[in-house]
Amino acid sequence: MKTLNDELLDYLCSEDPEEIDRGIRDIIRGLGLSILAIGLGLERIKREKLFLKLNYRNITAYIEGLSKSTGSDRGNIFSWLKIGETYLKYQEELELIGFTDDNGPTKLPYLERALALGPKDEVFDKLKTMSLRDFKAFARSTKAESPEDIPFWELRGNILYIEGHRAIILNRNLGLRNTDMLRSAICLACRALEKNGYVVAVHLRSRKEARRFRAAAKRVRARIQRT
């Protein structure tokens, strides 16, 4: 039985990003695949931003490079990362129940949703004893929000949700002016979509032109809608 004390996970203690990266690749290519070990390695690469020392601009670029060089599916690698993140978040509880690779770490991405059902002890017991299929079904049995509870669109910080689904993420490095302009355009488009309307884009050269155009456009729109 594999545990977090095995040599399989020794590379996680390294201070050398290249050694951690090499450990992840060795496990992926190895015959005894430890998904939990890979997930924990990926989690550390992301949390400590070690991808920068490996010459990748972000964790997504690192995962894409890892996918190409190892032949592993990109979606699987992101799932392994989620497994590592979930394990670290609930490590104390998971160690108490003796959770290991043998108990099916692919169930971990469904843990938080299952915990919404409670009680906590029962959820962790099911996590360890249920099959992946049964635990997924258990986690998905949580009462979902009714359609009436979900707004048509919602902008939370820099992330736009449409009918509860993540639709657009605004990069925080775009700068205040660019972000404000994109945010305004997105909100305008969403309001139009919500009312089954249309948006016409007009490029103007300055704020002064925009103020004058807006006033004139309101008058034109009112006249058109009266006819």
Q: What is the pLDDT of residue 111?
A: 92
Give the residue from 55, 72, 89 where a domain finishes. 89
Does 213 share its domain with 132? no
C-alpha to C-alpha distance for 213 and 211, rounded to whole angstroms: 6
Does 119 share its domain with 175? no
Phi, psi of 144 (to 5 degrees): -85, 155
Domain of 157 in residue numbering reads as: 147-226
Q: What is the pLDDT of residue 10?
A: 62
Cis peptide bond upstream of 151, omega within 30: no
Does 32 share its domain with 80? yes
3-state secondary structure (DSSP) of residue 162: strand
Does 83 share its domain with 129? no
Does 84 share its domain with 154? no
Q: Spell out the long-range contacts of 50-55 with Cβ–Cβ below 8 A and sequence spacing 24 or more.
A: 50/17, 50/20, 50/21, 53/17, 53/18, 54/17, 54/18, 54/21
Does 167 share its domain with 84? no
Does 18 share its domain with 82? yes
Helices vs strands, H then E, count in the chain = 10, 3
Does 98 share its domain with 133? yes
Q: Model pTM?
A: 0.55
C-alpha to C-alpha distance for 127 and 122, rounded to whole angstroms: 9
Domain count along the chain: 3
**Of all residues in the chain, what percent are helix, strand and coil, respectively (each to 5)?**
65, 5, 30
Does 75 share its domain with 18? yes
Does 73 share its domain with 21? yes
Does 70 share its domain with 39? yes
Task: Classify the phi-psi angles of 45: left when phi > 0, otherwise alpha if psi is within -120 to 50, otherwise beta.
Answer: alpha
Q: What is the pLDDT of residue 52?
A: 92
Q: pLDDT truncated to tens, each residue of the chain (227 aa)? A: 344 445 445 666 667 777 778 777 777 766 455 788 888 889 999 999 999 988 999 999 999 998 888 888 888 889 999 999 999 999 888 988 888 888 889 999 999 888 887 778 888 989 999 999 899 888 887 554 445 567 888 887 778 888 777 888 888 788 888 888 888 888 888 888 888 788 788 888 888 888 888 888 888 878 887 77
Does 55 share its domain with 138? no
